A and B are shown apart, each in its own frame.
Chain A
């Protein structure tokens, strides 16, 4: 596959001098739509910060400029970069990601105001700086990776790097344990969650691996009750990934990440082979693992108890009990249908309302109406990702697109499901909203890869009849 994208010019294709073959999509049209949506998104972000200040301190001061404008400048910078290096990229992804990031900053800023954090202690300021770093990474990805098929060449390199990143927190020197989970590394003043970056590398590895191997994984097998099951010797990959996820649960004590990796692999396997039996097998394996873990590991057992019976006094008072979960639900209840208003709720009562529980903070301040708008934005973002994969040309790109969009979808489900008590609570970050540099960086890189994929999809010979 060559790197240049074949774009057919109108003239040589028309032997019969009729109406020429028109390029029906004018590239700049897409970018202008993106610019319009971006300006609206930046306006909403600035409005959110102003509302937080009016609600919390009753006046507007200069912090608005640093918090509201810096993110806008950065996303507009990304927009300009896209005009040059990916003019046919999807116009909806960037504005949706920008608005999610901005609303996250506004809500984090409110918690800062209540806690009285200013300057470098302020989580919102750090979140803005991390957004800047993340966006610069995203621009670099779009500029450097001009053709996503290059990634396929390094399938196994990505696998190796992903495993190293997963193992890094276990190293005694750099690894750090926070709230029981050993998923951080700590170098100097910075702490980083390498698992977030590993999920992108794993998605690339799974895509490359499954493109090569899917025929063996899909064609042979025995039919049981109308479902074709794979041969025992083809179960190798799924068992390895299952063992990896289980070891994340046991050694790093992180349920969410394990669910994320395993769910990602099973879904990509299903998409690559089109066989329901992989979903059945994967679901069965994960359920078995979850039941075993809940019986043998105390922290998993605590999570299950807190999930099933959060309002009992014993679970509420226990260390590692349901206090946080219940406070989050109280926050959501306090918000009601339209919320208390930005800057006028009490999100600080819930522990970690800036990161893990930002959904309950948003639910309190914007209410059901606002939270559903946020969910719609996620839905649109994920739908775009799946749409890009559907229209893709090469199997690697299609699988990669599905994997990357599904990572965001699954992460939303795991976090929001945990906060709203649909599933046991696990420690994952809400994409784009939650404070946390590694998560922001990973999600903006996913956005950059999806933009690159969508640009390749539209760059092709086109004939309109």
Chain B
């Protein structure tokens, strides 16, 4: 073995080591740098169909996803807030005993339910969240629903655009009342019996 061959092999080994490091970094890029925002295929389809909803921002600002403008309850979400605020005290706190499901009330998946157990739920754009919300307004790790002393608590994980419980921005962990809207980006959901 000549010196030159050994030197070339040495360079090859170092290069291979670094390639391995970068392959690992590339494979975990979404965890390191946050997940890329992808436009929903449905929103694009709807955008192609009607010029009014072409801009997703405009569609979201009215809090009504482009594809579902007909159902009444969703367009009412903004006007809901003062009513709910005044009657918030009447809603009992959600506990593991009385809340059995999480219902999406506004957004593209409106009407969908998830059964609630006692395990906490994480919400965000990252793929390891329990509820993955992929829109322009959601942070990678946005919020968390967790159980403290058998009561459901909502915690904002320092998200950019905020988590709103009954129209008020959540800054520290708060108790979640039943049937009260929690809004993240363009999606609202409630805990129900």
A residues near B (Cβ < 8 Å) are: 1, 6, 8, 13-16, 18, 21, 24-25, 33, 37, 40-41, 43-44, 47-48, 51, 54-55, 58, 91-92, 95-96, 99, 338-339, 341-342, 344, 366-367, 369-370, 373, 376-377, 380, 383-384, 387, 390-391, 393-394, 457-458, 460-465
Contacts and interface: CB of A to CB of B under 8 A. Distances in A.
B17 interface: yes
A275 to B, nearest CB: 16
A8 B10 contact: no
B37 interface: no
A14 B112 contact: yes
Contacts of A394: 120
Give the contact-size bracket for chain B.
35 or more
A124 to B, nearest CB: 18
Given A15-B111, A58-B1, A338 B127 contact: no
Contacts of A44: 13, 16-17, 20
B21 A6 contact: no
Contacts of A377: 21
Given A44-B17, A341-B6, A373-B18, 5 more contacts: A339-B10, A373-B21, A376-B21, A465-B109, A465-B133
Interface string B128-140: 1111111100000
Interface in B130-160: 130-135, 141
Contact of A338 (B11, B28, B120, B132): B11
Interface in B5-38: 6-7, 9-11, 13-14, 16-18, 20-21, 23-25, 27-28, 31-32
Contacts of A33: 27
Contacts of B14: 338-339, 366-367, 369-370, 373
B132 A24 contact: yes
B1 A54 contact: yes
Contacts of B131: 462-463, 465
Contact of A460 (B23, B130, B141): B130
Most buried by A among B1, B13, B32, B109: B13
Most buried by A among B21, B111, B120, B127: B21
B80 to A, nearest CB: 20
| Across the A-B interface, the 7 shortest Cβ-Cβ residue pairs | A341-B10, A373-B17, A464-B132, A465-B133, A16-B111, A376-B21, A465-B109
Contacts of A25: 127-128
B163 to A, nearest CB: 15
Interface in B44-87: none
A419 B28 CA distance: 31
